[in-house]
Amino acid sequence: MAAMQESSLRGILYHPNLRHIRKVLKFFDPSDTFPWKEGRRMRLIGEFVQDRPIHAVRRELTVAEAARFMAEKKVGAVPVTKENRLVGIFSERDVITRVIALGRDPSKTVIGDVMTTRIVVAEADENHVSCLLKMQKAHCRHLPVVSGDQLIGMVSLRDLLMVDIDEKERNLEYLESYIYTIPPGTAKKYQGH
């Protein structure tokens, strides 16, 4: 039995003996969600975060208070706001590299002094692929989502990878149905053989 391997055609897995899949994949773009099939389109990141709560903190909070809040909400990073505007992100990485490693006291250090201020954001009308590329380029694991200048949510790398898996499963289901569907009118050609 031939082993499964990764295709050089956009990272889709396939069985090497299925040559007809390779022909279809040659024209397959994973960012395309087959809009001609049931009106499907790739979900926008704004739609993904719209029903999720925003766990934001103020810059005056101490690191210890913010860490307790993050543990309670089970999140690895929180947006930092001032007068409802995004001014930074405070993450587990900030605690380790800017507080613990430097010997600062978490109960006396305010997050405004140690938060990440060079913020990479996602616009609400972007798709998950665009967000993943931004995160890869910025070497970050959390991305605030904005609409104009308004913070509307936060996504993690894990969130985006789950969306990516779901999109790829949908695309593979479509490809399988395409490959194994007999086009109308062709069945008659083969009935006599």
Considering the chain, what percentage of its residues have pLDDT values greater than 70?
A: 73
Q: How confident is the model at residue 188 (pLDDT cuts 50, 70, 90)?
A: low
| 123-149 confidence digits (pLDDT tens) | 999 988 899 999 999 999 999 999 888
Sequence ranges of the domains in the chain:
45-161
Residues 62 and 34: their CA atoms lie apart, in Å, by: 48
62 φ, ψ (degrees, to nearest 5): -80, 160
185 band by pLDDT with thresholds 50, 70 and 90: low
- Where do the H-state alpha helices sit in 43-156? 45-49, 63-73, 92-94, 111-114, 128-138
**Of the candidate ranges 28-42, 113-127, 133-147, 175-189, the one whose mean pLDDT is the lowest:** 28-42
Lowest mean pLDDT, pick from 59-68, 150-159, 170-179: 170-179
Q: Residue 77: exposed, middle, or buried by beta-carbon count in 10 A (0-12, 13-18, 19+)?
A: buried
Q: Which CATH superfamily is domain 45-161 in?
A: CBS-domain (3.10.580.10)
